[in-house]
Structure formats: C-alpha cells, structure tokens
Structure 1
Amino acid sequence: MTVHSLSPTGNCKGLKEGQASYSWCVRNLRTLMVFTGIWPMEPPTLLLNVSYYYNATTFTLVICGMMAGAISVMDNYDLLVDNLSINLIFTEIFIKCILIKIYSKPLSRVLSLMKFDWISLKGRGPIHGDVLQSENIMLLHANIPRIFFIAYTALALVAWTATVVAAVSRKSSKMQIDASNAFPMPSWYPFEMHSTPNYEMLLTFQVIIGCSIAVSSAAVDSLLVTAVFHVCGQLEILRKYFENLHSSETALEETEKKVAAAIKRHSKLIDLCDLIEDCYSQITLSQLLVASLNVCLSGFGLLLAIESGNIKVFLKFLLLLIAMLQQILIYSVTGDYLSSKSTAIRSAIYKMKWYELPPSLSKALMLIAIRAERPLVVTAGKFFPMSLENFTQIIKTAASYLSVMWAVHKK
C-alpha cells in the first residue's frame, strides 16, 4: 500500500510548535514504550534494542514457568482454571509486544504522519488553516488518549498489585503453599520454590516482570487509541471543511482548489487509516481470541466459586472478567468511533451547497460521498470489524461456550 507523502507546511514557528505539540501528545506513551523496548523508532537505538531483548527474555522465562505450572496441576480443575486465566493474559501480551516490534517500521511511518499533521495544524496549512476550530478539535482528540493511557496504566498496575497481594496472602496463611498458585504468576520451576530465599527471589522477579508486562499491555493498546483518535480528529476537521467549502460569495476558481485539496486530504487519511489497520490487525485478532477465551474461563471460575461459596475466588474471577470485557470494549469503542467519524464526511457533503456547483465539481464530491459511505474500520485479522454491535455478538458467543463448559463439568 502506498501512503502519500506529506510535507510540513508553515513557518519556522509553526514547525517548532507542531513538533512540540506532537511530543506533548505522545510523551508519556513514548517514555514507557522505550522502557519496555517496543517504541516504534526507525532505526532503533541501542537502548531500545537492549530493553526489548531483555524484556523478551524475561517474558519468555515467566511464560515457560507458567506453562510448566499448568502442566503440574492438570489433575486439579480449580488450580488449572486459575493458572490458565492468568497464563493466557500474559502470553497474549507477549504476542502483542512481538507484533509491535515486527511492525515497528510502518508504525514509525504512522507517527511521522501524525507529527506532520501537527506541524500543518500549527503552521495553518491547507484545510487546517481554513477551519477555525481545528486546533481545539485536535487538542480534544489528543487529550482523550493521554487520559486513557494514564488511567489504563494505573488500573493495570493496581490489578497486578492486587494479584500479588492475594498470592502473598495465600503463602502467609499456609494455604496450598506446595501449589503453583503460591505465586502471583502460577508457575513451576525445577528447584525448590517455597524455601527461603528462593521464594522471595522468585516472587521479586515475578513482581518486577509483572509490572513491565502490565505497562506493555497498556502501552500497546494506548498507541492504537492515540493513532485512531488522531485520524478521527483529522476527519472531524475535514467534515467541518466540507460544510463550509462553498458559499455564494466564494469564487468558482477558489472552490475548485478547495475541492481538490479536500479530495487529496481525504485520500491521505484513508491511507493513514489503512496503515494503522495493517499494523494492528493481527494484534487485534490475538486480543480478541484470548480475551474471548478468558471470558469463558473467568465465567467458569465464577460459577465454581459460587458453587463452593468461596468469596475471595469469586471476587478474583469477577475482576478478571471485567478486565477481559474492558479490553474487548476498548477496541470496539475505538473502532466504532472511527467508523462514525469516517461516515460523517458523507453527511457533511450532503449538507453543503453542492447544487450550486458546476457538474464536474458535483461529480467529484459525489465520488467522495460514495467512498465515505464505506466506513473506515479497525478489524481483527482483516475480517472481523471491531464495533459495539460486534461486541455484543462476542459476549453472546462467549456465553454460549461457557454454558457448554459448565454442562460438561456437571456431567
């Protein structure tokens, strides 16, 4: 796929202000993604590579230990469900980090295009300079992902802290200290894990790696939200541009130039959205599959806890279920918002005074309206659009699988 080149426009002041605004937009996200080694930078720095391979190695050790832990409790249904519910989450996050690294080059291109948009905005470039509210629109669409990233990261760390506290409580209360669930990441390693100082060292290792994994998950999802909301902000600016594109006082020659600029801009935004889709399609698919499976496991754990009357286990699986639904919902809301903003272009063209334009310009606008009728989407694996409508279908499917699992368990 070809992405149209986009050159910064405006004076030196606009260039500096645009770069500063872009840096403000991604600063928090970039800091944590550099820490985990997954910030899409071309070429990657030595620090970025060292950080990535260190985290990849430690993630692999942790996941292998968790898989061994699952094998060691195969005969215990409750412990197996407990292990898999955590194991699947960390495995899926590891897969997301690998895919982000694989797609670092196109993602770097996405970030460059976002930077150029901010430069054009501050330099009052074409279209941005014609829409008075353009800066406020972009600030709004930049603030939402920033707030989301901070809140999501905080929630992920709080959830991980609660998991650690629960594991330490089991250990201190002498509950199943010989089982793999004595650790926040249910694991098994070929040495005595529960004696001092082995337990303390392994617990510290898991706590540190768990924080890194939690931050990585929040960062990967937040990068998608940041990129998509940037496109949505640009689409909103373009929508307002179309609404005010022509009036009775506007010269025909000026209108022709505006229509040409709008067509080019719309094409570039479609290309940018396609580039984001190419990068995140497989990530979204892995997220959808694992989260859906974990919804089933969490629901199954809830039913087991209700059956046994264990309140602590019930609360644990309830929080886990909410977390899994939240992850699917994030992608669904983001995709739904993108679709609504892209199709709003068609309504804007309909509302403008297109009937006062020559047939050639009217036909050009009609082509844009026809293209805008097909919404821009975030898909899982290029075949399943993420939207609020499909979110309900995911829940229904997961509930069906859960009922089958419970029926098999009862037999």
Structure 2
Amino acid sequence: MQLRFLSPETPIKETYFLLPRFALRVVGCWPQKKVPTFISILHFLVSSTAVAFGAFGECICGALTLNQILETMEAWCPGVTKQISLFKMWIFFVHREKLYSLIDRIEKLLTADGNEDKMKIAQKLSVIASILTLILFVSANSTNMFFNTRPLINNIIRMWNGKNTTLDFPFKMILPDVLTNYPVYPFTYISMSYSGVMTVFTFCGVDGCFVGLCFYISALFRMIQYDIQEVFVHLQYLDKAGRRDNQIMRQELKVIIRRHNEVIDLCNEFKEIFTTIIMGHFLSASLVVCFSVIDLLYSLEICDSVYLVEWYKCDAETRRMILMILIRAQRPATISVPFFSPSLPTFMAILSTTGSYIALMKSFI
C-alpha cells in the first residue's frame, strides 16, 4: 500500500513536516505557539535526562577504556551521537517560539496562492523531503533496534546451546554493581533502551526539520521564479511594452519583491537557529571518523623501532631487508575514502576549513 504522504497528489498541508512533527512530539520539543504546560516541560525533561544518561555514561566509559580501541569506539560512537542529540533537543526547546514562527510563516507562504502549477512545485519538493526523512527515520530506528536487541539475541543463542546467560547491556557503560545485577538489571536495561529511542527520535526530528526547511524554502524561491516568468510572459507577443503594461508589471513586481524579501528573512532566521547545530553535528562526525583510525597511526612507530635496533652490526643483505622495512613503515596505514584519509591532521584541517566557511557564509548572508 502506498504511503499517502509520499504521494505528490497529497495536499502539502497534510504532509508538511509530518515525520519530524511526530518524532519531536514523542521527545517533547516540537515547536508550538502556546506556552508549554507543566506536563509538557516534564515530558521534555524526562526525555533529555534519558539522553544525557546515555551520552555521558558512554563517553565516560570510552575515556576509561582508551587502551582498548574497539571498546572505546563502541562506547564513543553512540555516546557522541547522544551528546549532539541532547544539544539539538535543548536548542529546539530554547528556540521553540522562533521555530514555530519560522515553520508557520513558511507554510502560509506555500499555501497562500492556490495556483495549481505552483502547488505542484511545492508538493514535489515536499515529497522529496519526506522520502529523505523517512530513510533517515527507518535507518536510525533499525540501528537502534539492533543495539537494543543484540544482548537478548545473544542470550537466546547461548540458551539454545546450553550455556549460561549473561547480563549484558545494549550500550557500553561503566555502572555500579547494584545497577548491573538483579533486581535492578531490567530497569537499567530499559533505561538504556529508552535513551537510545529518545536519541533516534531527536536527531530524526531535528535533521528532518532541517531537510524540510531547506526544501520548503527552495520551493518558495522556485515559486518566485514562476511568478517572475508569469509577469513577463505576455511580452513575447509584443514588440514593446506600453505604459499600461509597465504599470501592471511594476505593481506585480512590488508584490514579488516583498515576498522575496520575506523569504530571505526566513533564510536568515533559519541560519541563525541551525548554524550551531550543523557545526556541532559536522565536528562530532569528523571527530568520530578521524579518531576511529587513530590506532592505525602506530604503524609509523615501526620505523622508530627498526631504526633503534643495532642494525649496523648486520651484514649487507640483512641491512637491505631492514632498509625495505624502514622505507615501507614511513607511509602510515590508514582507512581512506575517495576524497580524504581520516587522521588527526585531517581533523584539524576540517576544523580550520569549517571555521573559514562559516565566516565566509556569514559575510555573504
């Protein structure tokens, strides 16, 4: 059965931020005009506390197991994700009034004109935004589900093979013994799982809002392009526009200019709220990728080890073999992708370049 919100025939009012609204309402930080009630604030605090529990617990665990790189990264990867999600939650909660105004004004601009061609433009881009958000939502929830069910599946396999079960958790944390044993163990397991669920819904909602805002603002610009073309479409039948024609075109252009300025103002508000989120998200991802391969930098230390042995006491053939090892060890082993090799120097370059780009963007916008 086709999902209705993925159909370009569905009115944009029915699909407007559908998935992000659902996700952030679960978390308790969907922007609303009304003053938050005590229940809604409590809802948000419970969700953010759950995410904070996972974020700091996993990052502390990673910091205490630095001598075991796999254990460290297994704790840090979800831990950093939760820290960024916690950051996003609070930004959305603090800026809830600005976000509500931004989302509401964009919707009014999109639906103000009932022109069928312009609505098709908006609905087409809305479908693309919905598809991208759905992919993010499904993939993120699938990953979280595998994390949460992995210990249960492992114990089922152990029971099937006649072995004793273990009290494992979905995420790596260092906790007091009282929290890792019965009767508190099930509560701790559920708390970790809840932390993962709130993390997934947070970054799906926030990132879905970012994707949606980009596409909806793009739709507004395309609708302005359509309006400009419509203002001058009749000139193809005239050799020269008359006085009356120019007056009409000027009046129509004034309306377009006002709307264009309003959309640019919306872009500035959008940038003001999301610049910090994008910066944190980008840097956290870069940090995880670059530090994930830091252990491979030990390949360079082979060079020092070879040089420090008493190689000069060997014969010529042995020295040549040592020389070959020395030459090869000077090239670091790393994991490369088509456009860069993750490493600490690369991470520092990313920090520098990101700061430059943000400063450049601010000078233009």
Alignment TM-score, normalising by the size of structure 2:
0.69
Equivalent residue in structure 2 for 1:238, among 210, 218, 224: 224
Q: Structure 2: where are the runs of 5+ without partners?
A: 1-10, 299-334, 336-341, 343-353
Between the aligned partners of 1:385 and 1:379, the Cα distance in structure 2 is: 10
After TM superposition, list the pairs within 5 Å mapping 1:183-198 onto structure 2. Answer: 183-198=169-184
Contact residue 30 and residue 39 of structure 1 kept, 8 A? yes
1:165 aligns to 2:146 (yes or no) = no
Structure 2 CA distance for partners of 1:186 and 1:44, relative to 1, 3 Å: farther
Equivalent residue in structure 1 for 2:190, among 204, 226, 231: 204
Counterpart AA for 2:72: L
Structure 2 CA distance for partners of 1:52 and 1:302, relative to 1, 3 Å: farther
Q: Deviations over 1:314-368 (max 9, x none)?
A: xxxx9xxxxxx9xxxxxxxxxxxxxxxxxxxxxxxxxxxxxxxxxxxxxxxxxxx
The SS at the match of 1:383 is helix
Structure 2 CA distance for partners of 1:90 and 1:381, relative to 1, 3 Å: farther
Could you say which residue in structure 2 is the equivalent of 1:267?
A: 261
Between the aligned partners of 1:213 and 1:121, the Cα distance in structure 2 is: 38
Q: Structure 1: where are the runs of 5+ without partners?
A: 1-19, 123-128, 305-317, 319-324, 326-377, 387-411
1:94 aligns to 2:94 (yes or no) = no
Between the aligned partners of 2:272 and 2:220, the Cα distance in structure 1 is: 19
Shift of 1:62: 2.4
Structure 2 CA distance for partners of 1:381 and 1:192, relative to 1, 3 Å: farther
Between the aligned partners of 1:72 and 1:43, the Cα distance in structure 2 is: 44
Q: RMSD in angstroms over aligned alpha carbons?
A: 3.2
Contact residue 160 and residue 210 of structure 1 kept, 8 A? yes
After TM superposition, list the pairs within 5 Å mapping 1:1-400 onto structure 2. Answer: 21-46=12-37, 47-122=39-114, 129=115, 133-168=117-152, 182-246=168-232, 247-248=234-235, 249=238, 251-299=245-293, 382-383=358-359
Between the aligned partners of 1:203 and 1:150, the Cα distance in structure 2 is: 28
Counterpart AA for 2:50: T
Contact residue 41 and residue 105 of structure 1 kept, 8 A? yes
Structure 2 CA distance for partners of 1:103 and 1:148, relative to 1, 3 Å: same
Give aligned pairs, total: 284
Counterpart AA for 1:288: F
Between the aligned partners of 1:384 and 1:167, the Cα distance in structure 2 is: 48
Between the aligned partners of 2:97 and 2:138, the Cα distance in structure 1 is: 29
Q: Percent identity?
A: 14
Between the aligned partners of 2:254 and 2:54, the Cα distance in structure 1 is: 55
Deviates most, 285-294 or 38-47: 38-47
Between the aligned partners of 1:303 and 1:384, the Cα distance in structure 2 is: 33
Contact residue 22 and residue 114 of structure 1 kept, 8 A? no
Structure 2 CA distance for partners of 1:293 and 1:67, relative to 1, 3 Å: closer
Contact residue 166 and residue 184 of structure 1 kept, 8 A? yes
Q: Which has the larger radius of gyration?
A: 2
